[in-house]
Amino acid sequence: LHLRRMEASCLELALEGERLCKAGDCRAGVSFFEAAVQVGTEDLKTLSAIYSQLGNAYFYLHEYAKALEYHHHDLTLARTIGDLLGEAKASGNLGNTLKVLGNFEEAIVCCQRHLDISRELNDKVGEARALYNLGNVYHSKGKNVASARTHDPGELPDDVKNALQKAADYYEENLTIVTELGDRAAQGRAFGNLGNTHYLLGNFRSAVLAHEQRLLIAKEFGDRSAERRAYSNLGNAYIFLGEFETASEYYKRTLQLARQLKDRAVEAQACYSLGNTYTLLQDYEKAIDYHLKHLVIAQELHDKIGEGRACWSLGNAYTALGNHDQAMHFAERHLEISREVGDRSGELTARLNLSDLQMVLGLSYSTNTSMMSESHVVENSLNGTRPRVGRRHSMENMELMKLTPEKVQNWN
Amino acid sequence: SQPMAGRQAAELQSKVVPSKQILHSDNMEMEPETMETKSVTDYFSKLHMGSLVYSCTSKRKNK
């Protein structure tokens, strides 16, 4: 009788945990599942389901060490009771978790196991999902290796290229199956990540084609977050195709949706992208407008790194317009923030910008014998050959730069 | 001498700061992961069905 009551209580707690997680409250769900584990059950299949859901809840809560622990328990249990489908699922979840933790080799083994079992059981849905997961692991692996090293844009090291190519192959294989199955949502996901893989490989036309498909499916479902993602990714691809006008149109749609979805961080990102795009279009007034919008949100969100980036961009844009006072103001702010966040390379850039500007201003104050000489000096020191090559050249080549702030920090 | 200093500064800059130093934020938007799900509900309903079948058959046997 005591055992019966215990089983009932464990089930009740687990059912409440399930209900809460489905309702989106993973935090509360976790406490019910953990209470269920505390009570315990003789039924190993129920326990396996509890471990699996605990793992997923912790995954969604970004507590990956805990997620790893529970998916590992689930895998062990599934193997013990000889539940092959359960083992496949646990392997897939463990693989996804290991991927997020950066353990790509083990992640590949787990996702491959998910794939093998699904094929053995002739489970097409499971097979497709395992292929998608494998694509994601190889994509992350490629991106991770690429960002750990500095290399010239356009020339990817062989191992990075291989990993990304494998990712693309897995996404294609997944697409074949989910197209057969008529699973449009899964197609949408595969197109999105395939597009991003082509983007990293430098196949920007293929990236555009994939993201256009993603956009189409997002609209079919009325999935505005996915639609926004597609616009943003299309904007990025068009930048690298050198089609800045088209890129600006897609970034504007991203901005519009970000505002509708009330996502301030994404709104800031869209403004920043628009600022950069208008810089490439050499429309500095619009660039300033968007960079200022980005600055305001970065300050609101207490995003110091974003704020520093905004100041740096604003300094450059004002310099390009010849507004040296404003340029000076933002270069000073950039220096302050770089110091605050310990960005040594940013600090160095800001110092050089400041000394440049100080010189320009200093010269224009000391040699104001005539308008001619003043403008002559400014012309010399700012728009003359060398500084132009130094600063403006880098801005004009922005489309060639696939640099993340992490990479910039690696130059220290 | 001051344009000279300008040239020196420019040279210094080209030496110290890589021309790549443009803060292009490479903000790629990935699709979400899919996790495999298990549920105690599925299992529970099977269990419940099982006991229902059991009670029906045992009732029939009693008759």
Over residues A187-196, the pLDDT tens digits come to 999 999 999 9
B27 contacts in A (CB within 8 Å)? 232, 236, 269, 273
| Distance of residue A352 Cα from the nearest chain B Cα, in angstroms | 7
Nearest CA in chain B to A189: B31
**pLDDT over 60 (residue A250):** yes
Contact A298, A275 (CB under 8 A): no
Residue with tokens 């269990």: B47
pLDDT band, very low/low/confident/very high, at A8 (cuts 50, 70, 90): confident
Res A399: pLDDT:
35
pLDDT band, very low/low/confident/very high, at A218 (cuts 50, 70, 90): very high
Nearest CA in chain B to A364: B2
Mean pLDDT computed over A144-148? 82
**pLDDT over 60 (residue A21):** yes
**pLDDT over 90 (residue A176):** yes
| Distance of residue A32 Cα from the nearest chain B Cα, in angstroms | 13
Among A106-110, A151-155, A166-170, A395-399, which is the least confidently predicted range?
Answer: A395-399
Select from B18, B28, B37 the Cβ nearest to the Cβ of A196: B28
Residue A174 contacts B where some CB pair is shorter than 8 Å: no
Distance, in Å, from the CA atom of A389 to the CA atom of A321, rounded to the nearest integer, reads 17
| Distance of residue B34 Cα from the nearest chain A Cα, in angstroms | 7
Contact A110, A94 (CB under 8 A): yes
Distance, in Å, from the CA atom of A228 to the CA atom of A223, rounded to the nearest integer, reads 9
- Cβ distance of B22 and A200 shorter than 8 Å: no
- Cβ distance of A309 and B23 shorter than 8 Å: yes
| Distance of residue B25 Cα from the nearest chain A Cα, in angstroms | 5
Q: Return the DSSP state at A400.
A: G
Distance, in Å, from the CA atom of A18 to the CA atom of A23, rounded to the nearest integer, reads 9
* Percent of chain A residues topping a pLDDT of 70: 85
Phi and psi at A224, nearest 5°, equal -75, -25
Task: Concatenate the DSSP letters of all residues of B43-61 into one string.
Answer: HHHHHHHHHHHHHHHHHHH
Contact A233, B28 (CB under 8 A): yes
Residue from A78, A132, A72, A81 nearest A106 by CA: A72
Residue A11 contacts B where some CB pair is shorter than 8 Å: yes
- Cβ distance of A276 and B18 shorter than 8 Å: no
Res A268: pLDDT:
96
Residue A78 contacts B where some CB pair is shorter than 8 Å: no
Residue B37 contacts A where some CB pair is shorter than 8 Å: yes
Res B2: pLDDT:
45
| Chain B contacts in chain A segment 250-309 (CB below 8 A) | 269, 272-273, 276, 309
Among A6-10, A84-88, A229-233, which is the least confidently predicted range?
Answer: A6-10
Mean pLDDT computed over B10-37? 60
**pLDDT over 90 (residue A2):** no
Residue A403 contacts B where some CB pair is shorter than 8 Å: yes
**pLDDT over 90 (residue A384):** no
Q: What is the mean pLDDT of chain A?
A: 88
Res A273: pLDDT:
95
| Distance of residue B60 Cα from the nearest chain A Cα, in angstroms | 25
- Cβ distance of A46 and B40 shorter than 8 Å: yes
Residue B12 contacts A where some CB pair is shorter than 8 Å: yes
Contact A121, A84 (CB under 8 A): yes
CA diameter of chain A:
103
Q: What is the mean pLDDT of chain B?
A: 58
Residue B54 burial (10 A CB sphere; 0-12, 13-18, 19+):
exposed
Task: Concatenate the DSSP letters of all residues of A86-125 into one string.
Answer: HHHHHHHHHHHHHHHTT-HHHHHHHHHHHHHHHHHTT-HH
**Which amino acid does the sequence have at A3?**
L
Q: What is the pLDDT of residues A29-80, one digit of tens each?
A: 999 999 999 999 999 999 999 999 999 999 999 999 999 999 999 999 999 9
- The residues, ordered by sequence, that sit 6+ positions from A389 with a Cβ below 8 Å of its Cβ are B14
Residue A411 burial (10 A CB sphere; 0-12, 13-18, 19+):
middle
**pLDDT over 90 (residue A259):** yes
Res A137: pLDDT:
98
Among A72-81, A104-113, A344-353, which is the least confidently predicted range?
Answer: A344-353
Res A162: pLDDT:
97
**pLDDT over 50 (residue A290):** yes
Mean pLDDT computed over A127-151? 90
Distance, in Å, from the CA atom of A318 to the CA atom of B17, rounded to the nearest integer, reads 20
Determine if residue A294 is left, alpha or beta; phi over 0 gives left, psi from -120 to 50 gives alpha, anything else beta. alpha
pTM of the shown model:
0.80
Distance, in Å, from the CA atom of A343 to the CA atom of A347, rounded to the nearest integer, reads 6
- Cβ distance of A411 and B25 shorter than 8 Å: no
- Cβ distance of B34 and A129 shorter than 8 Å: yes
Res B49: pLDDT:
56
Mean pLDDT computed over A202-210? 96
Residue A246 contacts B where some CB pair is shorter than 8 Å: no
Residue from A287, A363, A361, A353 nearest A324 by CA: A361
- Cβ distance of A349 and B17 shorter than 8 Å: yes
* Percent of chain A residues topping a pLDDT of 90: 79
pLDDT band, very low/low/confident/very high, at A391 (cuts 50, 70, 90): very low
Distance, in Å, from the CA atom of A362 to the CA atom of B1, rounded to the nearest integer, reads 13
Where is mean pLDDT largest: A47-56, A353-362, B47-56?
Answer: A47-56
Res A146: pLDDT:
83
- The residues, ordered by sequence, that sit 6+ positions from A282 with a Cβ below 8 Å of its Cβ are A320
pLDDT band, very low/low/confident/very high, at A151 (cuts 50, 70, 90): low
* Percent of chain B residues topping a pLDDT of 70: 25
Higher-pLDDT residue of A320, A382:
A320
Mean pLDDT computed over B44-50? 57
Higher-pLDDT residue of A1, A84:
A84
Higher-pLDDT residue of A153, B10:
A153
- Cβ distance of B36 and A88 shorter than 8 Å: yes
